[in-house]
Amino acid sequence: MKKKVIIIGGGFAGLHVAKALQCESLDVVLIDKQNHHQFQPLYYQVASARLEPSNISFPFRKIFQKSKNIQVRLEDVKQILPNNNQVITNEGSHSYDFLIIATGCKTNFFGNSAIEQHALSMKTTEESIQIRNHILLNFEKYISANVSEIEKQQLLNIVLVGAGPTGVELAGAFAEMKSHILPRDYPQTDFSKLNVFLLEGSKHTLNSMSNKSKQASRKYLEDMGVIVKTETFVTSYDGHQATLNNGEVIPTSNLIWAAGVIGNLIDGLETSTIIRNRYKVDRQNKIIGYQNIYAIGDIAYMETPLYPNGHPQLANVAINQGKTLAKNIKRLLSQQKPLDYEYKDLGSMATIGKHRAVVDLPHVKFSGYLAWFFWMFLHLMLILSVRNKMQIFFNWAWNYFTKDSSLRLILKTKK
């Protein structure tokens, strides 16, 4: 009888373990609240109206169209019953022989309910579209005669919290929008008072990268007109004013939170398995205390000699944990010893704007033109389908030569 594998979550980790388990000896069920895989590194381009969401979204049923052993279920997992080997969803229950949790992370507001209520976040395609709609609608409000001067400044101040890759890339995109897009879309309107603020609690932008990249990224941002404030964080936000830890108040109706993530945990497993809001796993990604339940990707906390405090929450870690776990499940079925996982750091990178990027590879670090082209090439190669690669390449080429795009649609939904 075939063994049944349930995978919860279709991000980088879940998708790659599912793709590697396409074999006749297993029945695989992929459960996700979305019907598509989302390419998170390019969310910021959707939020800044450079790409359409369809360019970076890939329907699961299309991906596994030719897979005979993989089923997709559009459901929301509510609870795990480990003693019964069952998963409870909003649609019913599923039994399993192997359970793989790949639920990733969500935005961490660090317990500040006011900020959570009023700030914008960017962890899904829908949230990226929401940011795009919100920013573009505020530009339309700005030119209205019914808006007071105080409200106008709130509309024109864009505050980004968190200077990791997401915050840095968004800041650069909005700075370029101010310089190249808005003067064309609103030729009779003065946008010189539009300010892009980037706030970071640590001492540097891109704090996890090399000193060279930290310094270069900050210089690029400031050269583009971004107001960078380090060792600064938001203490409160009411939708109109952001109060900082130094007492400064920034009037804004555009606060985008990119300051941290927290694991998407599921009810049902022992609390002793959770450390730093992630499931503690062994070197084979098996959750401590369970024999047939695994966690991979951002939700997994694995201590190794090279990473005694857990692996970084990066796409490359998730992808390779998924591939390794798929190999191990096949090895278990054939009575072979499973493989230990260790992350090989291939480097990190971020783009700030046209011809501006930073790249940290294991043995070399560089920035500028070459880094920018390197960033674009690598991200284009990681896109799943040829069709989407071509669409993204066309949009990038069009934007490169014209410094413009035609994707600034405001899509409203009725409540």
Q: Which of 203, 228, 259 is the last residue of a domain?
A: 259
Asked if residue 310 and residue 248 are part of one domain, the reply reads no
pLDDT value at position 415?
Answer: 56
Is position 188 within any domain? yes
Asked if residue 134 and residue 253 are part of one domain, the reply reads yes
Asked if residue 119 and residue 240 are part of one domain, the reply reads yes
Domains of the chain: total: 2
Asked if residue 143 and residue 98 are part of one domain, the reply reads no
Asked if residue 145 and residue 100 are part of one domain, the reply reads no
Asked if residue 321 and residue 271 are part of one domain, the reply reads yes
Question: What distance in Å separates the CA atoms of residue 350 and residue 375, rounded to the nearest whole number?
Answer: 7
Is position 157 within any domain? yes
Asked if residue 117 and residue 138 are part of one domain, the reply reads yes
Q: Which of 259, 287, 314 is the last residue of a domain?
A: 259
Low-confidence ranges of the chain (pLDDT < 50): none
Asked if residue 138 and residue 186 are part of one domain, the reply reads yes
Asked if residue 296 and residue 170 are part of one domain, the reply reads no
Of 201, 258, 204, 196, the closest CA to residue 235 belongs to 201
Is position 65 within any domain? yes
CATH number at residue 51: 3.50.50.60
Listed in sequence order, the residues at least 6 apart from 395 whose beta carbon sits closer than 8 Å to its beta carbon are 50, 51, 55, 405, 407
Cβ(217)–Cβ(206) below 8 Å: yes
Asked if residue 247 and residue 143 are part of one domain, the reply reads yes
Domain span at residue 206 reads 113-259
pLDDT value at position 46?
Answer: 94
Residue type, 249: V
Tell me the DSSP string of 174-196: HHHIIIIIHHHHSTTS--TT-EE
Cβ(208)–Cβ(314) below 8 Å: no
Is position 367 within any domain? no
pLDDT value at position 414?
Answer: 64
pLDDT value at position 413?
Answer: 67
Is position 348 within any domain? no
Asked if residue 137 and residue 164 are part of one domain, the reply reads yes
Is position 412 within any domain? no
CATH number at residue 252: 3.50.50.100
Q: Which of 198, 230, 259 is the last residue of a domain?
A: 259
Q: What is the pLDDT of residues 122-162, one digit of tens each?
A: 999 999 999 999 999 999 999 887 888 899 999 999 999 99
Is position 397 within any domain? no
Strands 157-161 and 300-302, sheet pairing: unpaired
Question: What distance in Å separates the CA atoms of residue 169 and residue 353, rounded to the nearest whole number?
Answer: 7
Is position 376 within any domain? no
Asked if residue 94 and residue 229 are part of one domain, the reply reads no
Q: What is the pLDDT of residues 31-61, one digit of tens each?
A: 999 999 999 999 999 999 999 999 999 999 9
Cβ(17)–Cβ(102) below 8 Å: yes
CB atoms within 10 A of CB 340: 13
